[in-house]
């Protein structure tokens, strides 16, 4: 097992990604709330106050107070919808470690009783957790418990994964403190942290063009200058390490002064998590073209609209 110990100068900057705002409003909604119960409580309180004002107070005072109650009810419903869109009602407060039985299985990160949703490569840490389990002879320390709990939640939830990924970054801190800098455990920690950061802050960068080549009429790979003022065949290899995305690719041509000459765009279609797609088509190469580059438009496939 790797030598363990406090990590020198370990930064707690990853904590900055946690949502402190949502934690501060827990006193209003209670622990582990859901949207349905929130709206039900709002509705019950509204009915009680309206009945009280209508039965106990004369007009027009009762009407004014009733209008105020209705306004507060509508505002509360809007706040509830906003909190739901932020993923607040999907958050689950983990019970205290002392009251939570430790996982005894050799693969505690595998969900039990609930089907797992496919993870994009950036968020698939099964191999890293297996490596950690090997370092500790199959029994992970309690410092891994919060990370494993949120990782199982990530596997069974396709909504608000960026929020859960932020929770995972915070859960990494006690794990990183177990290893001295430069050890195998620290290397795995840094790799997981970097991939989580990429997923959270660089969502569009998960889709990349790995290869761009041009072919002449005979199908031979040829440099761009030799194809000037001709119809060529372009082949692009596009890889997706993130969530499913609708992709549009643009090939741009530049002259000797590196000024843009022309561009062509194509809809590549849906790229699923972890997928690599080879896209090929014909394109006219301008006479002045000396260099070509690519850029991608990424959009949510559910909207079926590709970005330019």
Domain boundaries, the chain: 13-21+91-201, 33-89, 206-299
Indicate the length of the chain as a whole number. 308
CATH code of the domain occupying 206-299: 2.70.50.60
> Can you give the pLDDT at residue 186?
94
**Pairing mode, strands 245-254 and 230-240:** unpaired
Q: Are 98 and 145 in contact (CB under 8 A)?
A: no
pLDDT tens for each residue of 206-215: 788 989 999 9
Question: Which pLDDT score, from 0 to 100, does residue 178 have?
Answer: 93
Structural contact between residues 22 and 79, judged by C-beta atoms closer than 8 angstroms = no
- Ranges of beta strands (E only) in the chain are 207-215, 230-240, 245-254, 260-271, 276-285, 291-299
Whole-number pLDDT of residue 33: 63
What is the model's pLDDT at position 16?
43
Whole-structure pTM value:
0.47
Q: Give pLDDT < 50 ranges for the chain.
A: 1-18, 94, 96-100, 102-104, 304-308
Yes or no: say if 147 and 175 are a contact pair by the CB < 8 Å rule.
Answer: yes
Q: HSE, CB side, 13 Å, CA atoms: give it for residue 235.
A: 11
Quote the CA–CA distance of 128 and 123 in Å, as a whole number.
11
Which pLDDT does position 161 carry in this prediction?
80
Residues 279 and 268: beta-carbon distance below 8 Å: yes
């Amino acid at each position: 097992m790797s030598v363990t110990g406090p990590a020198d100068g370990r930064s707690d900057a990853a904590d900055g990604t946690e949502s402190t705002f949502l934690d501060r409003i827990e006193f209003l909604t209670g622990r582990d709330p859901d949207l349905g119960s929130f709206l039900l409580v709002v509705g019950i309180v509204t009915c009680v106050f309206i009945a009280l004002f209508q039965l106990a107070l004369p007009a027009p005072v009762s009407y004014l107070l009733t209008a105020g109650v209705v306004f507060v009810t509508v505002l509360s419903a809007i706040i509830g919808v906003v909190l739901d869109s932020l993923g607040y009602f999907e958050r689950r407060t983990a019970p205290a470690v002392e009251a939570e039985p430790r996982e005894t299985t050799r693969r505690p990160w595998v969900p039990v009783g609930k089907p797992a949703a496919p993870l994009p490569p950036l968020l698939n840490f099964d191999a890293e957790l297996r490596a950690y389990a090997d370092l500790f002879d199959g029994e992970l320390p309690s410092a891994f418990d919060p990370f494993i709990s949120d990782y199982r939640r990530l596997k069974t939830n396709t909504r608000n994964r960026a929020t859960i990924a932020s929770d995972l970054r915070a859960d990494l801190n006690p794990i990183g403190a177990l290893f001295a800098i430069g050890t195998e455990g620290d290397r795995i920690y840094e790799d997981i942290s970097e991939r989580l950061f990429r997923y959270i802050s660089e969502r569009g960068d998960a889709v990349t063009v790995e290869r761009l080549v041009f072919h002449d009429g005979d199908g031979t790979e040829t440099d761009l200058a030799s194809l000037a003022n001709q119809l060529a065949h372009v082949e692009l290899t596009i890889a997706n390490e993130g969530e499913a995305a609708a992709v549009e690719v643009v090939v741009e041509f530049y002259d000797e002064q590196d000024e843009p000459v022309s561009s062509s765009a194509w809809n590549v279609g849906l790229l699923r998590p972890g997928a690599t797609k080879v896209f090929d088509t014909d394109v006219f190469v301008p006479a002045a073209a000396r260099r070509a580059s690519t850029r991608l438009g990424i959009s949510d496939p559910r909207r079926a609209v590709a970005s330019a």
